[in-house]
Homo-oligomer: A and B are copies of this chain.
Amino acid sequence: MRKIPGGVTAAKGFSAACCAAGIKYQGRTDMAMITSDSDCAVAGTFTTNLVKAAPVVWDQKIVYEEKKARAVVVNAGIANAATGKEGMRLCQQTAAFTGKALGIPESRVLLGSTGVIGPQIPLDRITAGVAAMKETLSSSLEAGTAASRAIMTTDTVNKEFAVEFDLPGADGSVPVRLGGMSKGSGMIHPNMCTMLGYLTTDCAIDQALLQKALKAAVQDTFNMISVDGDTSTNDTLLLLANGQAGNTPITQEDESYAAFCEALFSVCRDLAVKMAGDGEGATRLMEMRVYNADTKDHARTLAKSVIASSLVKAMVFGRDANCGRILCALGYAGAPFDPEKIEVYLHGENGDTLTFYDNGCVLPFDEEKALEMLSGTAVRFSCNLNMGKEEATAWGCDLTYDYVKINGDYRS
C-alpha cells in the first residue's frame, strides 16, 4: 500500500466540482459535488442521534435499499436538521434537479449538509449551484482538493487522503485506488460515523462486503475521535466503489478483502486524526492509547474517556502535567481496571517517555521535561492496564479560549 496524492478524485472514473452558492458564507465556495461515470456500490454509516438531519434520512434510504449511487451533492452553512417535512421535500427536489442535470435517476443522488441546525436550505441557490458545478466537473486531483475545501465550516484546514494498493486482476496484479475527504471541527463525537466524510474507490467489490468493511473501519477510526462530546445530527460517511480498477471483483472475505480493508482503515484513520487535530479552537492533537486491556471494548471506552475529558483537554492547552486528571477520567469511564496495577505514560515527539503513575501513585517527575513534551503539536499519552492483550487508541484536541469564542457566537 502506497500513499498517493489527492482525495475523492484519486480513484479512476470519479470527478468533482465545487462552487460559491452563497448558502450562508460569502466570498468562499460552499457546495461540492462528486460523480462517478458509472454506477457505484455504496456503503454508509450514519449518526446514531435520534434527531437525524433530512439528508441523513435521504442517504440511509439509498444505502440500505437502493445500494447504488452515482453522485453526491453537499452544502456547507445550513445543516437541514430539525426542519421537518419541508426539509425532506427540499432533499427530494435537490436530488431530482441533480438527477435531471446529470441524466441519472434521483435515487442515485446522495446528499449532505452541514452547518447551523434549524433553518431550511434555499432551494434556488442549491439548484443554481448544482447547475454551475455540472459545467466544471473534472477528474483532476485539483478538483478533488477544491471540493474538500468547499465543505469546510469552522475547519481551518481541508482534509483529504488517498492510497494505492495491488489486487489480482485478469492481467495479473492491478493497482486499486481509494481516497477521500472529510470535514468536521465542532459537534464532533461520532457514534457510528463522522461528521461528513466521502470516500471513493475504483475497486470492484460486492456491496455487502463494502458495507461490512466500512463499518469495521469506522469503529477504530472516526468513532474514536472527539472534539466536544456532542454527537451531531448530520454525521455521514459514504464510500462509493465503481469497480473501474479492473481487479477481480471481491466477493468473499479473502486476501483481497483484507488488503482492501487495510487500505480503507488507513484512509479513515488519516482523515479522523486530521479532524481531531483540527477541532474547533484546538492548538494541538491529543492521543490516548490504552493497551494490555482485557477486551477491545474496554480499551476503547477508557481511551475515549480520557480524550473527551474537559479537564484533561484544558490541561493539555495549558501544558500543565496534571496527570491525576487522566487517572480520574480513566476511573469514571465505566470499564473495569485495578488502579493499583496500571501505569500511565507521557510520550514526547522525539521518542522520550515519562512515567506519570505507577503502583497506585502519581510519581514525581521533571516538570521542565514534561513542559517540553507537552509543547509539541501532538501530545500522546498511554496506559498499560496489565490485564490482557487488547488495545485501542483515541484522538482528541485541547480545550481553548477559541473553542468557547467560536461556539459562544456561532450563528452570527
A positions within 8 Å CB-CB of B: 47-52, 79, 81-86, 116-119, 186-187, 189, 191, 228-233, 308-311, 314-315, 317-318, 320, 322-325, 327-332, 336-337, 339-340, 357, 359-362, 399-401, 403-412
Contact = CB atoms under 8 A, between A and B. Distances in A.
B360 A317 contact: no
10 contacts: A50-B337, A51-B339, A52-B331, A82-B339, A84-B359, A229-B308, A310-B310, A320-B412, A322-B411, A404-B404
A84 B361 contact: yes
B320 A50 contact: no
8 pairs of A and B residues whose beta carbons are closest in the complex: A117-B324, A318-B408, A118-B362, A51-B331, A314-B407, A231-B332, A84-B360, A49-B331
Contact of A409 (B229, B232, B320, B362): B320
A235 B158 CA distance: 43
Nearest to A367: B411
Nearest to A340: B84
Nearest to A85: B360
Contacts of A186: 311
A322 B84 contact: no
B79 A324 contact: yes
Contacts of A187: 311, 325, 328
B118 A407 contact: no
A322 to B, nearest CB: 5
